[in-house]
Amino acid sequence: MPARALSRRLAPLDAAFLYLETPEAPLHIGGVSLIDGDMPAADLAARLVARLDEIPRYLQRLVPAPLGVGHPAWEADSAFDIRRHVLETRVEPPGDEAHLQACAARRFEPLLSRARPLWELHVIRGLAGGRTAMLSKIHHCMVDGVSGVELMDVIFDVSPAGGGSRPGRPVSALPPLTPGELLIEGAVEAMTAGLEAGRAALRAVAAPTESWRAAWQRVVPAAAALRRAAATPVLRLPFNRPLTGARRLNWLDWPLDEVSAVGRARGGTVNDVVLAVLTDGIGRVLSASGLPLRHRFLRLLVPVNLRRTDERGLLGNRVSMVPVEVPFDGAPLDRLDATIACTDAVKGAGVAELAGDLVGLAGLAPARLHAWLLGLAASPRVLAWSAPLRAAPFLVGNLVCTNVPGPPVPLFALGHPLLAHYPLVPLGLETGLNCAVMTYNRVLHVGLVADAGAIDDLEPLRGSVGDAYDDLRRAAGVAAGRPARRRRPGRRPRGT
């Protein structure tokens, strides 16, 4: 099978994750994998060294374009050392789930060094029952949720003996470039973008009436859907605040077949159930704190995968984002029905495709201007100044909730079964709480990430979300499968 060529230079959307990053808001994605058995970091490092030819991007670092002409480019890291990327730590006894969450939160906080390839794996040992956890950190400029999941096949096998069916295909490496070559390539990229913008303008002017009419017919429903979303009464919530950089983690899971049955009972999807349950759980916590939520909605920003079938296996980001408004009011089934209606309307209006087109147009801007504008927008001073302006309902986005399909079969790391994988997404701007969901081996794993300055303890929210799910399941008439994971009561260590 021929090797697939990696792109050398960051695409505009990938580069945006670099430009928007701040110490308070690192933009790496990841997850916590819980493994049954003891797995030293040295053993995992040896496994990766043997398979690095399948993931050459993980051997490359980013170099800026000279004079800011073009986005940063990838080149081989001549000083690559696996020991800088596969790290080991131990938790204090008794090594329960609370200790794991606190330890993983501390390791998830810092920025990844841009002087070397933008990924780390932290092997966490000393857990109760002889288990091991693995925290992954991969910069968002390298992968999105979908392409990141596809890299699990490098670490995990489908059989305890190793090997088996592994969908990874060889990817061709990139030869290094001299500074002069980088400058020339960046200049060519800038000129190409300018020419493409010019061609687009000429095509628009010369387009026949039918093309204009087709474009208009595509834009109108999406604009109408966004207009309806803008009119929805959405509040900036207590966790929509400037970030501190300290993180808190928590998680829970539900049987996938059970969640699917709840969705089917009302003509919805697994994602509809997750959005409705998460809104209900957040509403319960906010109501308990005295915040009035009557006739108010939670606006969830939901990533949508735009990756084509022929792009499967390629790194980088091919996503768009759509707003979904879910009411805090109402009974569980009414809330689920409202969620289904909203997501159906957004899908039917083509909002994700329109947003993707707008991102593509923004990518025609010069790289230097792109970097300056996004860096300015993410700066703490600008965020503080613009907070009153962004309080308008149509500008409020309360949190991101992403759902990524994972492996449907059991996996093994060095012969040890993978018990669970809880995905983690970054926080950005003033979203002090985000949620990620991933399916693995017929279980839906839910990962919660919060900024410590916004939510210091995620345990009440985890409990409320669990209760909200149980209430919705019962209301839908779906029998319980196995219970969601419940941590035994005990001392909760701080995450910092």
CATH number at residue 390: 3.30.559.30
φ, ψ dihedrals at 253, nearest 5° = -150, 160
Largest CA distance in the chain: 72
Residue 382 structure tokens: 């600008």
Contacts of 203 (CB under 8 A, 6+ apart): none
Going by C-alpha positions, the residue among 274, 260, 316 that lies closest to residue 442 is 260
**pLDDT for the residue numbered 148:** 56
Does any domain span residue 372?
yes
Does any domain span residue 12?
no
Does the pLDDT at position 361 exceed 70? no
d(CA 280, CA 274): 10
Does any domain span residue 239?
yes
The fraction of the chain above a pLDDT of 70, given in percent, is 70
Contacts of 63 (CB under 8 A, 6+ apart): 72, 73, 74, 75, 182
Q: Which of 235-239, 309-313, 350-354, 466-470 shows the lowest mean pLDDT across its residues?
A: 309-313
Does any domain span residue 463?
yes
**pLDDT for the residue numbered 224:** 55
8-state DSSP, 23: T
**For the residues 323-336, what does the mean pLDDT come to?**
94
Q: What is the pTM of this model?
A: 0.82
Burial class (CB in 10 A: 0-12, 13-18, 19+), 438: buried
Does any domain span residue 340?
yes
**For the residues 301-315, what does the mean pLDDT come to?**
56
Per the structure, the complete domain to which residue 471 belongs is given by 232-402+443-475
Higher pLDDT, residue 132 or 482: 132
Does the pLDDT at position 146 exceed 60? no
Going by C-alpha positions, the residue among 181, 24, 185, 38 that lies closest to residue 110 is 24
Q: What is the mean pLDDT of the chain?
A: 80
**Number of structural domains in the chain:** 1
φ, ψ dihedrals at 347, nearest 5° = -65, -45
pLDDT in tens, 181-205: 544 455 545 554 554 545 554 554 5
Does any domain span residue 204?
no
Does the pLDDT at position 436 exceed 90? yes
Report DSSP letters for 235-270, one per residue: PPPTT-S---S-EEEEEEEEEHHHHHHHHHHTT--H
**pLDDT for the residue numbered 56:** 84
Does any domain span residue 391?
yes
Does any domain span residue 373?
yes
104 contacts 32 by C-beta, under 8 angstroms: yes
